[in-house]
Protein backbone atom coordinates (compact mmCIF):
# COMPACT_ATOMS: atom_id res chain seq x y z
CA UNK A 1 0.00 0.00 0.00
CA UNK A 2 1.46 3.37 -1.08
CA UNK A 3 0.66 6.28 1.22
CA UNK A 4 1.51 9.91 0.47
CA UNK A 5 2.36 12.04 3.53
CA UNK A 6 1.32 15.63 2.75
CA UNK A 7 1.63 17.33 6.13
CA UNK A 8 4.15 19.07 8.33
CA UNK A 9 6.31 17.13 10.78
CA UNK A 10 7.63 14.27 8.64
CA UNK A 11 10.51 13.57 11.06
CA UNK A 12 8.04 13.01 13.92
CA UNK A 13 5.18 11.35 12.07
CA UNK A 14 7.01 9.00 9.72
CA UNK A 15 8.67 6.79 12.38
CA UNK A 16 5.46 6.59 14.40
CA UNK A 17 3.26 5.67 11.42
CA UNK A 18 5.79 3.15 10.11
CA UNK A 19 5.95 1.51 13.54
CA UNK A 20 2.15 1.38 13.79
CA UNK A 21 1.60 0.23 10.19
CA UNK A 22 4.81 -1.32 8.79
CA UNK A 23 2.94 -2.82 5.83
CA UNK A 24 2.35 0.68 4.38
CA UNK A 25 4.93 2.34 2.11
CA UNK A 26 5.08 5.93 3.36
CA UNK A 27 6.14 8.51 0.77
CA UNK A 28 6.93 12.22 0.91
CA UNK A 29 6.30 12.59 -2.79
CA UNK A 30 4.68 10.49 -5.47
CA UNK A 31 5.83 10.88 -9.10
CA UNK A 32 2.66 9.24 -10.42
CA UNK A 33 -0.96 8.85 -9.33
CA UNK A 34 -0.61 5.32 -7.92
CA UNK A 35 -1.31 6.31 -4.32
CA UNK A 36 -3.74 4.33 -2.18
CA UNK A 37 -4.14 6.90 0.60
CA UNK A 38 -3.08 10.42 1.54
CA UNK A 39 -2.22 11.61 5.03
CA UNK A 40 -2.89 15.33 5.07
CA UNK A 41 -2.89 18.49 7.20
CA UNK A 42 -3.30 22.09 5.98
CA UNK A 43 -0.02 23.15 7.59
CA UNK A 44 2.03 21.03 5.18
CA UNK A 45 3.24 21.45 1.60
CA UNK A 46 -0.27 21.26 0.19
CA UNK A 47 -1.79 18.62 -2.05
CA UNK A 48 -3.66 18.59 -5.34
CA UNK A 49 -6.07 15.79 -4.53
CA UNK A 50 -7.18 15.61 -8.17
CA UNK A 51 -3.71 14.31 -9.06
CA UNK A 52 -4.42 11.10 -7.11
CA UNK A 53 -7.80 9.82 -8.34
CA UNK A 54 -7.02 6.25 -7.24
CA UNK A 55 -6.54 7.23 -3.59
CA UNK A 56 -9.24 5.63 -1.46
CA UNK A 57 -8.77 7.79 1.62
CA UNK A 58 -7.59 11.22 2.71
CA UNK A 59 -6.76 10.95 6.41
CA UNK A 60 -6.64 14.31 8.17
CA UNK A 61 -4.20 14.76 11.04
CA UNK A 62 -6.41 17.53 12.42
CA UNK A 63 -9.71 17.19 14.24
CA UNK A 64 -11.15 20.17 12.36
CA UNK A 65 -11.68 19.73 8.63
CA UNK A 66 -13.14 23.12 7.65
CA UNK A 67 -9.91 23.96 5.78
CA UNK A 68 -9.97 20.64 3.91
CA UNK A 69 -13.56 19.62 3.16
CA UNK A 70 -14.43 22.58 0.87
CA UNK A 71 -11.46 21.89 -1.47
CA UNK A 72 -13.05 21.31 -4.93
CA UNK A 73 -10.23 18.94 -5.91
CA UNK A 74 -11.12 16.62 -3.03
CA UNK A 75 -13.30 13.78 -4.29
CA UNK A 76 -11.84 10.99 -2.14
CA UNK A 77 -13.37 9.94 1.21
CA UNK A 78 -12.10 12.23 3.99
CA UNK A 79 -11.57 11.04 7.57
CA UNK A 80 -11.08 13.44 10.45
CA UNK A 81 -8.70 12.77 13.31
CA UNK A 82 -10.28 11.37 16.46
CA UNK A 83 -7.27 10.97 18.70
CA UNK A 84 -7.42 9.64 22.30
CA UNK A 85 -4.57 11.97 23.25
CA UNK A 86 -6.43 14.95 21.82
CA UNK A 87 -9.54 13.96 23.80
CA UNK A 88 -7.53 13.64 27.01
CA UNK A 89 -5.91 17.03 26.49
CA UNK A 90 -9.30 18.66 25.89
CA UNK A 91 -10.75 17.02 29.00
CA UNK A 92 -7.90 18.38 31.09
CA UNK A 93 -8.09 21.90 29.65
CA UNK A 94 -11.86 22.19 30.07
CA UNK A 95 -12.01 20.55 33.50
CA UNK A 96 -9.19 22.78 34.75
CA UNK A 97 -10.84 26.00 33.63
CA UNK A 98 -14.31 24.95 34.78
CA UNK A 99 -12.94 24.21 38.24
CA UNK A 100 -11.01 27.48 38.32
CA UNK A 101 -14.13 29.47 37.43
CA UNK A 102 -16.39 27.40 39.69
CA UNK A 103 -14.15 27.85 42.72
CA UNK A 104 -13.43 31.53 42.01
CA UNK A 105 -9.73 30.87 42.34
CA UNK A 106 -8.77 34.21 40.80
CA UNK A 107 -10.65 36.18 43.47
CA UNK A 108 -8.07 35.59 46.18
CA UNK A 109 -5.60 38.44 45.84
CA UNK A 110 -2.33 37.81 47.64
CA UNK A 111 -2.42 41.11 49.52
CA UNK A 112 -2.63 40.11 53.17
CA UNK A 113 -6.43 40.48 53.39
CA UNK A 114 -8.30 37.47 54.81
CA UNK A 115 -11.35 36.93 52.55
CA UNK A 116 -13.43 34.03 53.79
CA UNK A 117 -16.97 35.43 53.60
CA UNK A 118 -17.87 33.53 50.45
CA UNK A 119 -17.64 29.74 50.27
CA UNK A 120 -17.92 28.30 46.75
CA UNK A 121 -20.85 25.94 46.07
CA UNK A 122 -20.35 22.25 45.44
CA UNK A 123 -20.06 21.07 41.85
CA UNK A 124 -23.59 19.64 41.78
CA UNK A 125 -24.88 23.16 42.44
CA UNK A 126 -23.14 24.57 39.36
CA UNK A 127 -24.96 24.31 36.02
CA UNK A 128 -22.68 23.71 33.03
CA UNK A 129 -23.71 23.45 29.38
CA UNK A 130 -21.50 21.93 26.69
CA UNK A 131 -22.37 23.00 23.14
CA UNK A 132 -21.23 20.19 20.89
CA UNK A 133 -21.55 16.44 21.28
CA UNK A 134 -18.87 15.07 19.00
CA UNK A 135 -15.96 13.04 20.35
CA UNK A 136 -14.48 16.03 22.20
CA UNK A 137 -17.81 17.38 23.46
CA UNK A 138 -18.83 13.99 24.81
CA UNK A 139 -15.45 13.44 26.47
CA UNK A 140 -15.63 16.82 28.21
CA UNK A 141 -19.26 16.37 29.27
CA UNK A 142 -18.46 13.00 30.84
CA UNK A 143 -15.40 14.38 32.65
CA UNK A 144 -17.45 17.21 34.16
CA UNK A 145 -20.25 14.81 35.11
CA UNK A 146 -17.69 12.63 36.88
CA UNK A 147 -16.56 15.70 38.85
CA UNK A 148 -20.15 16.15 40.01
CA UNK A 149 -21.25 19.13 37.90
CA UNK A 150 -24.85 19.55 36.73
CA UNK A 151 -24.04 19.06 33.04
CA UNK A 152 -26.24 19.22 29.95
CA UNK A 153 -25.03 18.94 26.36
CA UNK A 154 -26.55 20.48 23.24
CA UNK A 155 -26.12 19.63 19.58
CA UNK A 156 -28.15 20.06 16.44
CA UNK A 157 -28.97 16.35 16.40
CA UNK A 158 -29.59 15.98 20.12
CA UNK A 159 -27.05 13.19 20.57
CA UNK A 160 -25.04 13.20 23.75
CA UNK A 161 -22.74 11.28 26.04
CA UNK A 162 -24.08 8.30 28.01
CA UNK A 163 -25.73 9.47 31.22
CA UNK A 164 -25.57 13.17 30.32
CA UNK A 165 -28.89 14.91 29.51
CA UNK A 166 -28.89 16.07 25.89
CA UNK A 167 -30.80 18.87 24.19
CA UNK A 168 -31.38 19.24 20.45
CA UNK A 169 -31.45 22.05 17.87
CA UNK A 170 -34.50 24.10 18.83
CA UNK A 171 -33.65 23.70 22.53
CA UNK A 172 -30.67 26.07 22.25
CA UNK A 173 -32.40 28.84 24.29
CA UNK A 174 -33.02 26.31 27.09
CA UNK A 175 -29.42 25.12 26.96
CA UNK A 176 -28.11 28.69 27.20
CA UNK A 177 -30.54 29.87 29.89
CA UNK A 178 -29.21 27.30 32.38
CA UNK A 179 -25.50 27.76 31.61
CA UNK A 180 -23.63 29.35 34.49
CA UNK A 181 -20.55 28.06 32.67
CA UNK A 182 -20.79 27.54 28.91
CA UNK A 183 -18.29 25.49 26.90
CA UNK A 184 -18.12 25.71 23.11
CA UNK A 185 -16.98 22.55 21.34
CA UNK A 186 -18.85 22.82 18.05
CA UNK A 187 -17.39 22.46 14.55
CA UNK A 188 -17.03 25.40 12.18
CA UNK A 189 -19.98 25.20 9.78
CA UNK A 190 -22.36 27.65 8.12
CA UNK A 191 -24.88 26.88 10.88
CA UNK A 192 -22.51 27.43 13.82
CA UNK A 193 -20.66 30.58 12.70
CA UNK A 194 -21.67 33.45 14.94
CA UNK A 195 -23.89 31.16 17.00
CA UNK A 196 -22.96 33.09 20.12
CA UNK A 197 -24.02 36.64 19.26
CA UNK A 198 -25.73 39.53 21.06
CA UNK A 199 -29.13 37.82 20.93
CA UNK A 200 -28.01 34.39 22.12
CA UNK A 201 -25.58 35.73 24.75
CA UNK A 202 -28.48 37.67 26.27
CA UNK A 203 -30.08 34.29 27.06
CA UNK A 204 -27.23 33.31 29.37
CA UNK A 205 -27.67 33.91 33.11
CA UNK A 206 -26.31 37.14 34.54
CA UNK A 207 -22.63 36.65 35.32
CA UNK A 208 -22.18 33.53 33.21
CA UNK A 209 -18.70 32.51 32.09
CA UNK A 210 -17.72 31.25 28.62
CA UNK A 211 -14.95 28.83 27.69
CA UNK A 212 -14.20 28.47 23.97
CA UNK A 213 -11.63 25.84 22.97
CA UNK A 214 -13.67 24.89 19.89
CA UNK A 215 -13.64 27.32 16.96
CA UNK A 216 -13.07 31.08 16.91
CA UNK A 217 -15.89 31.53 14.41
CA UNK A 218 -18.51 30.45 16.97
CA UNK A 219 -18.44 33.83 18.75
CA UNK A 220 -19.05 37.34 17.48
CA UNK A 221 -16.15 39.26 19.06
CA UNK A 222 -17.88 42.64 19.34
CA UNK A 223 -20.95 41.09 20.95
CA UNK A 224 -18.79 39.28 23.51
CA UNK A 225 -16.85 42.42 24.39
CA UNK A 226 -20.12 44.36 24.84
CA UNK A 227 -21.54 41.63 27.10
CA UNK A 228 -18.35 41.65 29.18
CA UNK A 229 -18.37 45.45 29.46
CA UNK A 230 -21.90 45.55 30.84
CA UNK A 231 -21.22 42.66 33.22
CA UNK A 232 -23.67 40.20 31.73
CA UNK A 233 -20.74 37.86 30.99
CA UNK A 234 -18.31 37.72 33.91
CA UNK A 235 -15.36 36.08 32.18
CA UNK A 236 -14.36 34.50 28.87
CA UNK A 237 -11.60 31.93 28.48
CA UNK A 238 -10.68 31.92 24.79
CA UNK A 239 -8.30 29.51 23.08
CA UNK A 240 -9.43 29.98 19.45
CA UNK A 241 -10.03 33.13 17.44
CA UNK A 242 -11.33 34.50 14.16
CA UNK A 243 -7.73 35.36 13.20
CA UNK A 244 -4.76 33.37 14.49
CA UNK A 245 -2.33 34.29 15.85
CA UNK A 246 -4.53 36.83 17.64
CA UNK A 247 -3.23 40.28 16.56
CA UNK A 248 -1.40 42.14 19.37
CA UNK A 249 -3.80 45.09 19.05
CA UNK A 250 -6.93 42.97 19.53
CA UNK A 251 -8.94 44.14 22.60
CA UNK A 252 -9.14 40.60 23.96
CA UNK A 253 -5.49 40.90 25.08
CA UNK A 254 -6.14 43.83 27.40
CA UNK A 255 -9.70 43.18 28.54
CA UNK A 256 -9.83 42.34 32.28
CA UNK A 257 -12.61 39.82 31.69
CA UNK A 258 -10.77 37.80 29.05
CA UNK A 259 -8.07 35.16 29.35
CA UNK A 260 -6.32 34.39 26.07
CA UNK A 261 -4.62 31.03 25.61
CA UNK A 262 -2.81 30.56 22.27
CA UNK A 263 -4.71 27.62 20.73
CA UNK A 264 -3.13 25.11 23.09
CA UNK A 265 -6.24 23.52 24.62
CA UNK A 266 -5.36 20.26 22.94
CA UNK A 267 -3.16 18.98 20.15
CA UNK A 268 -3.04 15.81 18.10
CA UNK A 269 -0.44 13.59 19.78
CA UNK A 270 1.78 11.73 17.34
CA UNK A 271 2.19 8.73 19.63
CA UNK A 272 -1.58 8.12 19.95
CA UNK A 273 -2.76 9.46 16.58
CA UNK A 274 -0.40 7.17 14.66
CA UNK A 275 -2.46 4.18 15.79
CA UNK A 276 -5.63 5.88 14.51
CA UNK A 277 -3.97 6.47 11.13
CA UNK A 278 -2.77 2.85 11.04
CA UNK A 279 -6.25 1.49 11.73
CA UNK A 280 -7.75 3.46 8.85
CA UNK A 281 -4.96 2.47 6.48
CA UNK A 282 -5.57 -1.18 7.31
CA UNK A 283 -9.29 -0.72 6.76
CA UNK A 284 -8.57 0.63 3.29
CA UNK A 285 -6.31 -2.36 2.60
CA UNK A 286 -9.13 -4.71 3.65
CA UNK A 287 -11.75 -2.79 1.62
CA UNK A 288 -13.55 -1.83 4.83
CA UNK A 289 -15.08 1.60 5.45
CA UNK A 290 -12.67 3.95 7.25
CA UNK A 291 -13.51 5.30 10.69
CA UNK A 292 -14.60 8.90 11.34
CA UNK A 293 -15.56 9.77 7.77
CA UNK A 294 -16.61 13.37 7.17
CA UNK A 295 -20.10 14.15 5.92
CA UNK A 296 -19.19 16.65 3.19
CA UNK A 297 -22.66 18.21 3.25
CA UNK A 298 -22.43 18.93 6.99
CA UNK A 299 -18.75 19.85 6.93
CA UNK A 300 -17.74 17.53 9.79
**Active-site residue, from 263, 282, 283, 296:** 263
Active site residue 250: no
Contacts of 218 (CB under 8 A, 6+ apart): 131, 184, 186, 188, 192, 193, 194, 195, 196, 212
> Are 288 and 33 within 8 A, CB to CB?
no
Nearest alpha carbon to residue 246 among 258, 261, 235, 231: 261
Whether the bond between 264 and the residue before it is cis, its omega within 30 degrees of 0, is no
62: alpha, beta or left? (left if phi > 0; alpha if psi -120 to 50): beta
Q: Residue 101: helix, strand or coil by DSSP?
A: helix
**Active-site residue, from 56, 126, 215, 292:** 215
* Residue ranges with strand state E in the chain: 2-6, 25-27, 37-40, 58-60, 78-79, 127-131, 150-154, 166-167, 181-184, 208-212, 233-238, 258-260
Contacts of 267 (CB under 8 A, 6+ apart): 86, 89
Neighbours of 48 (CB within 10 A): 10
What distance in Å separates the CA atoms of residue 210 and residue 257, rounded to the nearest whole number? 10
What distance in Å separates the CA atoms of residue 89 and residue 266, rounded to the nearest whole number? 5
- The residues assigned a catalytic role are 215, 263
Amino acid sequence: MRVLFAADGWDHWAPAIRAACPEAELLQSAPDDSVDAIIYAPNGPGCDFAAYPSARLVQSLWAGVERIAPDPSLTQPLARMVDPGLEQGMREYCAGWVLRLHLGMDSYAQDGIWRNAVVPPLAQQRRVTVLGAGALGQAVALALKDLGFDVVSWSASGRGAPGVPALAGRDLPQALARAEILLLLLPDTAETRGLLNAETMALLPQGAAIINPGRGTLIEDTALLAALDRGHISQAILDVFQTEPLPPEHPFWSHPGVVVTPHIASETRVETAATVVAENLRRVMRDQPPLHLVDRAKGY
